[in-house]
Amino acid sequence: YNTMLQSSIKLNNRDKMAEVLTHLAKYKIPRNASFCEGVLKQLAGANWAKEALHIYPLLTSDGFAPSAVMCSCMICFAADCGQHETAKHFYSQLCSVATPNLRTFMTMLKVHSKRGDWQASLAVFREMQARNVKIDSHVLNMVMGICASAGMPHEVEQLLAEAEAGDSVFVLPDVVSYNTLVKAYGLSGHFPNAVEVLSRMR
């Protein structure tokens, strides 16, 4: 079956791939996480995100829980297809069994950014802190930017203050970090605060 699936994907034959997986499910051919991981990785390599979301129920119709690798793949597929709730579902499952890698955390931040969901973005950030995942300036600035766009300057200020405190999980904030705080205060009409931040930058 694995050989047939590989051939179907290489030949760009989506119908044959679906046929093979339907046969697997119909006749209850045993599958395991390793097999499913292999299929999802092949689909990722072929950029078949939509197809992966479609065939996932067939892959897992045995009822076993998805592995960390499977969850990570499905998060990326869902994010690529704009299925944000699906991405959140698999992210929750992943966090229950393993620590997501930096790429997965970044994917979820992008999902929440598109939704303008600063609270969910901040929750992902706090999850990274709780799991001692190294937070670089790009991650920090991304979360600050999401909060700034949502009109939450106090949250942006708090994030910057934590970074300035030199927590071991953080790298030092950069110019973009301070500019984001200025933007946050400006968007919310707190102009004196914005000027004060500018003075701190000098």
DSSP characters over 92-127? HHHHHHSPPPHHHHHHHHHHHHHHT-HHHHHHHHHH
Return the SS3 of 18.
Answer: helix
* pLDDT value of position 168: 56
* pLDDT value of position 2: 79
* pLDDT value of position 167: 63
CA atoms within 13 A on the CB side of 172: 2
pLDDT tens digits, 159-172: 999 888 876 566 77
Return the SS3 of 61.
Answer: coil
Cα–Cα distance between 87 and 142 in angstroms, integer? 19
Going from the C-alpha of 81 to that of each of 55, 103, 174, the distances in angstroms are 14, 17, 33
pLDDT grade for 89, boundaries at 50, 70 and 90: very high
Cα–Cα distance between 183 and 106 in angstroms, integer? 22
Strand partners, 135: 170
* pLDDT value of position 169: 63
Task: Burial-class residue 184 by CB neighbours within 10 Å (0-12, 13-18, 19+).
Answer: buried
* pLDDT value of position 30: 84
Model's pTM, two decimal places?
0.87
What share of the chain has pLDDT > 90, as a percent? Answer: 64
End-to-end CA distance of the chain: 64
* pLDDT value of position 202: 65
Task: Burial-class residue 162 by CB neighbours within 10 Å (0-12, 13-18, 19+).
Answer: middle
Yes or no: say if 152 and 180 are a contact pair by the CB < 8 Å rule.
Answer: no
